[in-house]
Structure 1
Amino acid sequence: MACYAAFVSLAQVLDQILDHDQHAIVLHEQQQIKSLHENVILLSTFLEDFPGEAGNLEARITIAANEAEDIIEYHILDEISPEYEISPDYETSHEIGHHNWRRLYGELQKVIKEIDSIMKEVVQIKSCNKSKDLMSTHNSSSSFSSRIASSCREIVVGLDKDLLEIKSQLCGDSSALQIIPIVGMGGIGKTTLARYAYDDPLTLHHFDVCAWVTVSQNYQVRSILLDLLRSIEASSEERYKWMVDELLVRVYKYLKGRRYLIVMDDMWNTNVWDDVRRIFPDDCNGSRIIITTRELDVASYVDSLSHPYLMHLMDVDQSWGLLKEKVFGGENCPRQLEKIGKLIADNCRGLPLAIVVIAGVLSKVNQVQESWENIARNVNEAVNTSGEQFSKILSLSYTHLPHHLRPCFLYMGGFPEDSVINASKLIKLWAAEGFLKANGSKHPEEVAEEYLEDLDKRSLVLVTHKRSNGKIKAVKMHDLLRDLCIRIARDEKFLHVTNEFSSSSCEVIGNSRRLSICSRIWGDFSHIEGSPMRTILHFHHRAFNSWKHFRLLRVLDVMTVTLGSYPCHMDELFHLRYLALTFEGKKKSNEFVVPGSLSKLQNLQTLIIRLEYSPGSLYLPFEIWRMRQLRHLIVFDGCLPDPSEGTCEQILENVHTLSHVKRFTCSQRMLEMVPNIKKLGIIYSIRDIDKTGWSKYCLNNLVHLQKLEKLSFYVGPHDYSQSNLSHNLAFPVTLKKLTLSGCGLSWKDMTIVGLLPNLEVLKLRRNACRGLEWETNEGEFCRLKVLVIDRVDPCNWITESSHFPILECLLLRGCHKLREIPYGIGKIQTLQLIELDSCDSFIVELAKRIQEEVESFGNDLQLRL
């Protein structure tokens, strides 16, 4: 059950009303609501500390918490409705406030009695189990977990022979276009095998172009082509405006004459191949296409002459080898656990995904025989029960999840199949949902990052991208695990997912607390005004306009739908915490003005707005400065109003993210309004600079943002050649990550950047700097770990290893004028990776020599081409 989420969310709602409205609550009711709040906290702690003991109480707990939350939030909506704004007189309004709270307390009586009853049973459970170690199967050994976390070597157990065979086909002598179908059931390791072959350094060196695209059941040709272009070409906004035929031609022309490797992962039907076959040139000089599929018919249809590579279930030895490797890494399995471990592996019936998931469960229990025997009994029971064995085995991963991770795991089932889930977005959504329990001085985002890392360690998500600081940037979910999430979430009325293969009645949707729209919905939903719906995630391109009927919404993500105007009923969604919208700008100017009524959404934490096409301008209202709960303001090409032009009663001390803002003016008043900002992304147009100069934007004041950690600074267009920007720009010493693009700075100006004491990541993108020579100095870049030089062209780069003393990663992309990689780079002891993309062949050869020299001294240096 996801009852833990219901109680944590209810606790947050009670926190809000006790903090905000105590003046309106008479003493008796105040004490009763405080008592309810204390019981809620105690119950959520009980669920966390005694995960296996709630039993039949879980359903009662969930119902009670949801009912209490609904009553309170409907009460708040009634309070803010116009008919309650009766009198400006304090005495009268105060009396009305008392009456309202007495009414709320009366409505809560039934729920309070139920929670009191549950508390009595909880006390009995605790008393009966006082002498037992209830956490034996859920606590993890810290040293054991650290080994799992620190193990970064690739695990190819059971796939060694398969990998060699696939690689030999990829890099074989045949000059003809070869298609290599990998066929097998879900969870057997098709994608894993393809990924190992794709990422192999020999493979990357052999092909001129490598691209990976995932094909979902609800695929769109345009999305596939855009994914291919993102893999093989530099980023371009123009491509998003092209029609399918234009994209087909573009991909074809790019691949023609090159030796390419394309992986089309998880192809379900033959229609996909019919739609994209013409993009692959036949005069391909030994190009290869890998297709992974569950259907042998698909493999035969794609190329009847090719011999599909059929993957089989693992044998007993392979199963135990994979389980042991995933749980213990390079260390030995304790002798007392070996017999029971082999039994667990054998009961997974040779399915790699099941083995990996069970390994994730084992990695979180104590390394004692009793704990492992308990897991073995569960696995054995799942295998011997009629029905889908693998599904039941995978269900154990949910059963053994701590309560605080269950809602986070189920929630991910709401994202479309095979989608790459941005960690930053996911974390904001979890926070808005109320899943995150306060943890001392940690911000909600930090708590959520720990949750996501824990799901990764349990092998319940696949990390697709990592940030330069090692944190998770994006994840995917295996479709079998997603199916598990959808099934459990539907049964618990936690989340309902629509897709092309299921019908969704008004009753089903109305009774669910969350809705993920992955296909078009038909029906009249006007009669479900009283629905408890809290979330709508909209991934379909067709509009679902009935969300106006769900008055308790906290999350509304409709970015896939283009709105012609600001919805008039949006202001009624007082409880919204997360809002993501796309607007259609005016046809001539491509501009959109957001109305001041937006500020009625006083609970909003995350606001994401963009125009359908860029470039354009979004104009936010002055009232944005009155939205005190805002934490993340992401407005693509958005312009903020000048706070000095009106009355701003309070600063927005909660704002941590301000991103994609156009013409941002760092006036003293502006920075006073967002003093705690951590992430800032700002955009300037050369046309604006030519008119006013840089001094207007007061960029020297950036130095006063003493909590700023990430700054992205973009100037466009990229052919900007003359700038006095350096005389009008100063950075705060707190910066950890800096991205510069189009700034036209001289290389000598980089000394300002090099002396930043906390800078860990520096990304220099197109025309960030200009000039023939970049010479660094002693004492610069003392903490820099990641350096990206992307289409910035110094001819000579003069540096020493001591100038980048702890550099770990160097990425060079499209540096066609660069004459060499400095010899000193190879002497940096901490260097782990050099990545080259679209660089000349002699630069590649220099990188290989550096790699050979580094490895001759016994150090590892990965070269990614």
Structure 2
Amino acid sequence: MENSSGRLVQPGTSASSTKLVGRAFEQDMKVIRSWLMDDEVSTIGIYGMGGVGKTTMLQHIRNELLERRDISHSVYWVNVPQGFKIEELQDLITKYLNLDLSSKDDDLSRVVKLAKELANKQKWILILDDLWNSFEPQEVGIPIPLKGSNLIMTTRSEMVCRQMNSRNNIKVDTLSDEESWTLFTEKLGHDKPLSPEVERIAVDVARECAGLPLGIVTLAESLKGVDDLHEWRITLKRLKESNFWHMEDQMFQILRLSYDCLDNSAQQCFVYCALFDEHHKIERGVLIESFIEEGIIKEINRQATLDKGHSILDRLENVNLLERIDGGSAIKMHDLLRDMAIQILDEYSLVMG
């Protein structure tokens, strides 16, 4: 798939609609841009905990690259599955290159073919998003270092960056209280100003999100339009009572609040999405048919049932529990949200015995 500039872009990867907030993000973006313009830099690592905004930052960088007429690089974006095999990663990369790595090829032939193709391309930027474990690029067929080309990775671990021999690394930190409030109010919307009493509580709610953009955005979307003081107090109370020691546990609590605000049908549909393969897009029509087959949604006739399915997915997208891609024909689920959904499924299984 090509963009308007004729350069390759990953099918199904939507442009980020989330505005980057904070001086640190702006500075990090500036540094990454400078590295991409430096022929001496071949590998770039972006690390930080889940939900802190690594992927969003790279989406903005990717979009800038594709729009710039003075840059002729092809941009390849790969969502890396956990526990991937070399052959799997090779196949994910070669789908951009019109390169057939036959299953009959031996391991060395696959590596040589891919390395030769990328070397011939010369100017490319390969983005590996959500890398959990390190690997040797040459064993895959990624010819790094290669003048004019770059390998960029996002990962939760600084150690992965080091093991990938990346000397140009950036840690994406959490937002300050002020930056958190800016993002929270942006996502909350400005249709109706908050009363002074609600705003005081809302400031504390935003602070309890611990500076994590994913949690801030998801919680703000779920509270959009809520002006009841008691509901805001209940939300703040639940956040304060979580008392988690680890940031990712705290993130789960924040995301869980958005899930708890859904009606029963929407909750069932959300956790059902976790049964699909990680990082894979899910066709909207296929998903709704699955809801119907499983008996999760049922109305007086088929059209009403389909409408109900679309309405539920719209709701899940609006509160950022699912991401709309491919112009709305498919959805995908953030890995942290998928982890939470699986945790909820496990809890339900224990209750049912």
- Same fold, judged at TM 0.5 (above): yes
Aligned counterpart, 1:483 = 339
Answer yes or no: is 1:163 the counterpart of 2:29: yes
CA contact (8 A) 1:204 1:210 kept: no
2:75 aligned counterpart, secondary structure: strand
Query: What amino acid maps onto 2:86 in structure 1?
Result: V
Query: What amino acid maps onto 1:253 in structure 2?
Result: K
In the TM superposition, residue 201 of structure 1 has moved relative to its aligned partner by 4.6
Provide closer, same or farther for how the CA distance between residues 250 and 360 of structure 1 changes in structure 2, counting only shifts above 3 A.
farther
CA contact (8 A) 1:408 1:435 kept: yes
Provide closer, same or farther for how the CA distance between residues 434 and 247 of structure 1 changes in structure 2, counting only shifts above 3 A.
farther
What is the TM-score when the length of structure 2 is the normalising length? 0.83
In the TM superposition, residue 274 of structure 1 has moved relative to its aligned partner by 6.3
Q: Which whole-Å CA distance do the structure 2 matches of 1:311 and 1:153 have between them?
A: 19
In the TM superposition, residue 350 of structure 1 has moved relative to its aligned partner by 0.9
Query: What amino acid maps onto 1:292 in structure 2?
Result: T
CA contact (8 A) 1:197 1:203 kept: no
2:210 aligned counterpart, secondary structure: coil
Q: Which range moved further: 412-421 or 338-347? A: 412-421
Aligned counterpart, 2:124 = 260
Aligned counterpart, 2:233 = 373
Query: What amino acid maps onto 1:169 in structure 2?
Result: W
Aligned counterpart, 2:88 = 223
Answer yes or no: is 1:251 the counterpart of 2:114: yes
Alignment equivalent of 2:77, drawn from 208, 212, 233: 212
In the TM superposition, residue 315 of structure 1 has moved relative to its aligned partner by 0.5
Aligned counterpart, 2:271 = 410
Aligned counterpart, 2:8 = none
1:378 aligned counterpart, secondary structure: helix
Alignment equivalent of 2:256, drawn from 395, 400, 405: 395
Please list the CA deviations of residues 436-455 of structure 1 after superposition, one character each: whole Å capped at 9, or x if unmatched: 13166734333222211211
Q: Which whole-Å CA distance do the structure 2 matches of 1:204 and 1:229 have between them?
A: 24
Provide closer, same or farther for how the CA distance between residues 246 and 435 of structure 1 changes in structure 2, counting only shifts above 3 A.
farther
CA contact (8 A) 1:418 1:479 kept: yes
The count of corresponding residues between Structure 1 and Structure 2 is: 330
Q: Which whole-Å CA distance do the structure 2 matches of 1:494 and 1:437 have between them?
A: 26
Aligned counterpart, 1:359 = 220
CA contact (8 A) 1:183 1:294 kept: yes
Provide closer, same or farther for how the CA distance between residues 430 and 273 of structure 1 changes in structure 2, counting only shifts above 3 A.
farther
In the TM superposition, residue 494 of structure 1 has moved relative to its aligned partner by 8.8
2:292 aligned counterpart, secondary structure: helix
Q: RMSD of the alignment, in Å?
A: 2.8
In the TM superposition, residue 353 of structure 1 has moved relative to its aligned partner by 1.5
Q: Which whole-Å CA distance do the structure 1 matches of 2:252 and 2:45 have between them?
A: 26
Within 5 Å, give how 1:504-519 maps onto structure 2: none
Provide closer, same or farther for how the CA distance between residues 484 and 274 of structure 1 changes in structure 2, counting only shifts above 3 A.
farther
Query: What amino acid maps onto 2:126 in structure 1?
Result: I
Please list the CA deviations of residues 205-239 of structure 1 after superposition, one character each: whole Å capped at 9, or x if unmatched: 42421101111222122222222222344xx8x55
Provide closer, same or farther for how the CA distance between residues 360 and 443 of structure 1 changes in structure 2, counting only shifts above 3 A.
same
Please list the CA deviations of residues 774-803 of structure 1 after superposition, one character each: whole Å capped at 9, or x if unmatched: xxxxxxxxxxxxxxxxxxxxxxxxxxxxxx
Answer yes or no: is 1:492 the counterpart of 2:348: yes
In the TM superposition, residue 360 of structure 1 has moved relative to its aligned partner by 2.3
CA contact (8 A) 1:361 1:400 kept: yes
Answer yes or no: is 1:291 the counterpart of 2:153: yes
Q: Which whole-Å CA distance do the structure 1 matches of 2:300 and 2:178 have between them?
A: 43
Query: What amino acid maps onto 1:229 in structure 2?
Result: T
Alignment equivalent of 2:50, drawn from 186, 197, 210: 186
Q: Which whole-Å CA distance do the structure 2 matches of 1:475 and 1:458 have between them?
A: 13
CA contact (8 A) 2:115 2:143 kept: yes
Q: Which whole-Å CA distance do the structure 2 matches of 1:371 and 1:301 have between them?
A: 47
Query: What amino acid maps onto 2:188 in structure 1?
Result: V
Q: Which whole-Å CA distance do the structure 2 matches of 1:460 and 1:322 have between them?
A: 17
CA contact (8 A) 1:209 1:232 kept: no
CA contact (8 A) 1:155 1:325 kept: no
Provide closer, same or farther for how the CA distance between residues 407 and 370 of structure 1 changes in structure 2, counting only shifts above 3 A.
same
Please list the CA deviations of residues 72-107 of structure 1 after superposition, one character each: whole Å capped at 9, or x if unmatched: xxxxxxxxxxxxxxxxxxxxxxxxxxxxxxxxxxxx
1:264 aligned counterpart, secondary structure: strand
Q: Which whole-Å CA distance do the structure 2 matches of 1:361 and 1:240 have between them?
A: 47
Q: Which whole-Å CA distance do the structure 2 matches of 1:379 and 1:328 have between them?
A: 21
In the TM superposition, residue 272 of structure 1 has moved relative to its aligned partner by 6.2
Query: What amino acid maps onto 1:289 in structure 2?
Result: L
Q: Which whole-Å CA distance do the structure 2 matches of 1:157 and 1:311 have between them?
A: 12
Please list the CA deviations of residues 57-77 of structure 1 after superposition, one character each: whole Å capped at 9, or x if unmatched: xxxxxxxxxxxxxxxxxxxxx
1:181 aligned counterpart, secondary structure: strand
Q: Which whole-Å CA distance do the structure 1 matches of 2:96 and 2:195 have between them?
A: 47
In the TM superposition, residue 165 of structure 1 has moved relative to its aligned partner by 2.5
Q: Which whole-Å CA distance do the structure 2 matches of 1:226 and 1:177 have between them?
A: 26
Q: Taking CA–CA contacts closer than 8 Å with sequence separation of 6 or more, which of the two structures ends up with the larger relative contact order?
A: 2
Aligned counterpart, 1:428 = 289
In the TM superposition, residue 313 of structure 1 has moved relative to its aligned partner by 1.1
Aligned counterpart, 1:543 = none
1:263 aligned counterpart, secondary structure: strand
Q: Which whole-Å CA distance do the structure 1 matches of 2:164 and 2:33 have between them?
A: 20
Provide closer, same or farther for how the CA distance between residues 272 and 357 of structure 1 changes in structure 2, counting only shifts above 3 A.
farther
In the TM superposition, residue 357 of structure 1 has moved relative to its aligned partner by 1.7
2:265 aligned counterpart, secondary structure: coil
Query: What amino acid maps onto 1:493 in structure 2?
Result: S
Identity of aligned residues (%): 27
In the TM superposition, residue 473 of structure 1 has moved relative to its aligned partner by 2.3
Aligned counterpart, 1:819 = none
In the TM superposition, residue 185 of structure 1 has moved relative to its aligned partner by 0.8
2:186 aligned counterpart, secondary structure: helix
Query: What amino acid maps onto 2:131 in structure 1?
Result: M
Query: What amino acid maps onto 2:250 in structure 1?
Result: Q
Q: Which whole-Å CA distance do the structure 2 matches of 1:485 and 1:153 have between them?
A: 24
CA contact (8 A) 2:144 2:151 kept: no
Structure with more of its chain in helix, by fraction: 2
Q: Which whole-Å CA distance do the structure 2 matches of 1:431 and 1:400 have between them?
A: 23
Provide closer, same or farther for how the CA distance between residues 265 and 482 of structure 1 changes in structure 2, counting only shifts above 3 A.
same
Structure with more of its chain in strand, by fraction: 1
In the TM superposition, residue 154 of structure 1 has moved relative to its aligned partner by 4.3
Aligned counterpart, 1:801 = none
Where structure 1 has 5 or more consecutive residues not aligned to the other structure, the ranges are 1-151, 467-471, 496-510, 513-865
Q: Which whole-Å CA distance do the structure 2 matches of 1:176 and 1:397 have between them?
A: 45
Query: What amino acid maps onto 2:159 in structure 1?
Result: D
Provide closer, same or farther for how the CA distance between residues 493 and 262 of structure 1 changes in structure 2, counting only shifts above 3 A.
same
Provide closer, same or farther for how the CA distance between residues 394 and 281 of structure 1 changes in structure 2, counting only shifts above 3 A.
closer
